[in-house]
Amino acid sequence: AQRTDLSELTASFVIKNGVAHNDDLSAKAPLLRLSGAGDVNIGANVIDYLAKVSVVASSTGQGGKDLADLNGKTLPVKIDGALDAPKFHPDFNALVRNVVKEQAGKAEEKLEERGRDFL
């Protein structure tokens, strides 16, 4: 099994009627940041959680692609199902939407600059 070394991990929970609610998960690893919020229903043995994973540094490892292209990008991951067999659903559509939005903003800035230069 592979491991991820965390340099920091914080989270608080409020437990009410057997449901542990968290809205401030924060974890730091050398290349990643993780935030999250959601619920763990202890009695029903069910989790409903949204984690957000962000790449924060660039590195090339074991012949892989340079991670610089992913720097600052966030991938939402929905976690649900039974606690002993949770299901992970990465939301790649949200990642793509955010990248497109970012690129559109950069293109708009360039057009504004060129417009000012033209006048």
3-state SS track over 65-87: CCHHHHECCEEEEEEEEECCCCE
Residue 28 included in any domain = yes
- Which residue bears the tokens 């099994």? 1
Residue 83 included in any domain: yes
Token pair of 4 as six digits? 């991820």
| Both structure tokens of 98 | 């955010």
Q: What is the pLDDT of residues 84-102, one digit of tens each?
A: 999 999 998 888 888 788 7
Q: Is 107 part of any domain? A: no
Residue 45 lies in a domain: yes
Domain total in the chain = 1
Inside any domain, residue 106:
no
Residue 100, domain member (yes or no):
no
Write out the residue range of the structural domain in which residue 63 sits.
8-91
pLDDT digits (tens, 9 = 90+) for 44-59: 999 999 999 998 865 5
Give pTM, 2 decimals: 0.71
| Residue 78 placed within a domain | yes
